[in-house]
A and B are shown apart, each in its own frame.
Chain A
């Protein structure tokens, strides 16, 4: 015995064939069977317009298709009811949790407890910054004051800065710590101006023994805030209070920043974080995966570390994608899963683009003549770009080895295979090559 829902769905399928599409969409949308009693089908329709029209115009069609599906149907009654849909919706919505299950930000210090040294992966690219942070922890206020960490986005500047704060929050709870972004600082200042509470603003910020300010480069654009920041800086620094800043550029190259601020930043320690090399990326992926309770096979880790280039945040995003896959299916994630999942996510160069265009872009990148790629020359400056072209055509555009060979001046497919292997193995050691590839991929997007 089919349920009424299935019965109506089947009937709709039949009706859709006999009735024109606009008519079907207009009149049969939001219809459903309310109940079936003694051979009478009670059909719920959204409005009286629909009821009147269905019963005069389509009654025969509906009755015929319902009879065809179920012999017991004798007649149809139309009733106006929107209830069904609503009920269904409410039934499927799970009770909303009263609060989002996020790790809450510590209210007093504004620190996110997730950022600690335990979860921070140290590698050659950030070990100096890490060491400086450790020194600050051992001798706050005197070792490196201020400590300024700079580097491109997504490499853990905020993590490191907050880790310092979290360390003190746990080990020295009576210290007054504050984490603030430069934007929040500026907003606070502006609103204190508007409400005539500048004094309490000053007092609030001057009480802190450890002040962590994120993204100080934005201060350069805010004239009044910059001045207030300058005074705050002097006050805290003179009182040997520890200051930690992050910025996306070295203070000397931030535009519009005054000399007096620049020199003050330079007075302490300026350390940089750079994009991680291959080995560090591998280590990061492994530790993040472990943190999520997921153990990945070595080839998957390797794949992640090589394909997802650039910053750690992207790496985390790719890992999260895998994690969902892992949770959905339950089984171990294989290299093929990883490839499938990340095809869209990492360096999405999947736009349709011709081989000629790829060749053009890469030759112009390396500054060689386009024609030379197709020639049989084995000059060194041509061979490398040609290999890169083959590698990219294979990896990003999934073109077969023989086709690549044919398109690039009639080469054998084994040549192409060799080239791809060569670039792949070089990638693991040669950071310049990986940067080049990253830039080329950006150009291909």
Chain B
């Protein structure tokens, strides 16, 4: 095989595909990317058997062919070249990559075992704005559990009802939900996308403007974003019925400036103990929210924030990191904290935006 293509395009494609390789796989070929040249384009394919990607880039083809090489090697070489175009040819079992000034020979890997990517028929699909989908996943994905015991909690739940697409994730200590509009309405059943794969989906849809169409069946989800085909396994499981634990009425509500809370939590983290415990008090009489953390070995800190408070006073302890996490998905100026008393979960919302909420469970002591 022999072709010539733009360095920049190849670099971006290799970097994207490289994220889908699996370094510790049983099958050594999975740590590589597959380059295959057909017609006048180059196809890059990578998969870790959880999710996979195929990227087409235009190329000037002199001879067709297929080869598998370690993505990190090619990526390392391309990152450090300044040449506009790159020409690639296969000599025996070595891939020769040439730029204006440099030439590299990369050992290839037998590609017979490189798997094909599952295709999902276009029968069932939904459409969202790419920016919306990316925002929805970004707002919740960090909440997904990292433990493999419950795969359904390791995932981001996507579903839609009444023209709204909802993304949810929880690790049973906190829960985030973001709702974005769905193009063309309709409804989508519950799709459980592994959180790692969802993050990759987010990065891929981030590269385009406009709408993306997501295809799905019972086991697989995929999308075609310009020249990139993405597919991910869906988890076969049932997401907990989280709606029933979201409180509807509250005994205490406070509104504070987002910036205040964010800075306070940042500096409180210095004094937090190993459980990052932060105690939060809402004081109606002082019209204030107090955040404090204490580590017997270091010291303690209290931060005082002005707030508008409705309802009773309250003191609850939280994991400070969980509180801080909630703010990254909130872009508005002020944050609404609502609770039903000590020992009850706290609902955190953008005061001006109903599309996102975050539920944090308190710590025991």
Q: Taking beta carbons and an 8 Å cutoff, which residues of A are in contact with B?
A: 20, 22-23, 25-26, 47-53, 56-57, 80, 82
Contacts and interface: CB of A to CB of B under 8 A. Distances in A.
A51 B119 CA distance: 11
Contacts of A50: 49
B219 A48 contact: yes
A223 B108 CA distance: 68
B236 A26 contact: no
Given A22-B28, A23-B27, A47-B233, 8 more contacts: A22-B26, A25-B26, A26-B25, A49-B49, A49-B52, A50-B49, A52-B117, A57-B115
Contacts of B343: none
A52 B116 contact: yes
B49 A23 contact: no
A47 B234 CA distance: 9
13 contacts: A20-B113, A22-B25, A22-B113, A25-B27, A26-B26, A26-B30, A47-B220, A49-B47, A50-B49, A52-B118, A52-B119, A53-B115, A57-B115
A49 B233 contact: yes
A86 B22 CA distance: 26
Interface in B107-159: 113, 115-119
Given A47-B233, A48-B233, A49-B233, A22 B116 contact: no
Given A48-B233, A80-B219, A26 B49 contact: yes
Contacts of B52: 49
The winner among B25, B30, B117, B236 for most chain A CB atoms within 10 A is: B236
A51 B118 contact: yes
Contacts of B26: 22, 25-26
B116 A47 contact: no
Contacts of A57: 115
A20 B29 CA distance: 13
B161 interface: no
Contact of B219 (A20, A22, A25, A47): A47
A247 B362 CA distance: 40
Interface string B21-54: 0000111101000000000000000010100100
Contacts of B28: 22
Looking at chain A's contact residues, is the secondary structure mostly helix, strand, loop, or mixed?
helix
A56 B218 CA distance: 21
Interface string B205-246: 000000000000011100000000000010010000000000
B113 A23 contact: yes
Contacts of B236: 82
Which range contains the number of B residues in contact with the other chain?
Answer: 10 to 19
Interface centre among A47, A48, A50 (most CB of B within 10 A): A48
Contacts of A20: 113
Contacts of B25: 22, 26
Interface string B51-73: 01000000000000000000000
Contact of B220 (A23, A25, A48, A82): A48
Nearest to B22: A26
Given A23-B27, A26-B49, A53 B219 contact: no
Contacts of B118: 47-49, 51-52
Nearest to A47: B233
Counting chain B CB atoms within 10 Å of each CB, which of A20, A47, A56, A82 scores highest? A47
A355 B28 CA distance: 47
A60 to B, nearest CB: 15
A26 B24 CA distance: 12
Contacts of A51: 118
B116 A53 contact: yes
Contacts of A23: 27, 113
Contacts of B49: 26, 47, 49-50
Contacts of B219: 47-48, 80
A50 B113 CA distance: 12
A194 to B, nearest CB: 10
Contacts of B116: 52-53, 56
A52 B116 CA distance: 7
B103 to A, nearest CB: 32
Contacts of B30: 26
A88 to B, nearest CB: 16
A213 B361 CA distance: 38
A80 B218 contact: yes
Interface in B233-276: 233, 236
Nearest to B237: A82
Interface string B4-28: 0000000000000000000001111
A309 to B, nearest CB: 41
Contacts of A53: 115-116
Task: Name the 9 nearest CB pairs between A and B, nearest first.
Answer: A48-B118, A25-B26, A26-B27, A48-B220, A26-B26, A53-B115, A80-B219, A22-B27, A22-B26
B155 to A, nearest CB: 14
A53 B117 CA distance: 8
A90 to B, nearest CB: 14
Nearest to A86: B236
B297 to A, nearest CB: 15
B233 to A, nearest CB: 5
Nearest to A25: B26
Nearest to A54: B115
Contact of B115 (A25, A49, A82): A49
Nearest to A83: B236
Nearest to B119: A52
Contacts of A52: 115-119
A80 B235 CA distance: 11
A197 to B, nearest CB: 15
B10 to A, nearest CB: 26
A23 B219 CA distance: 22
A48 B218 CA distance: 10
A23 B218 CA distance: 25
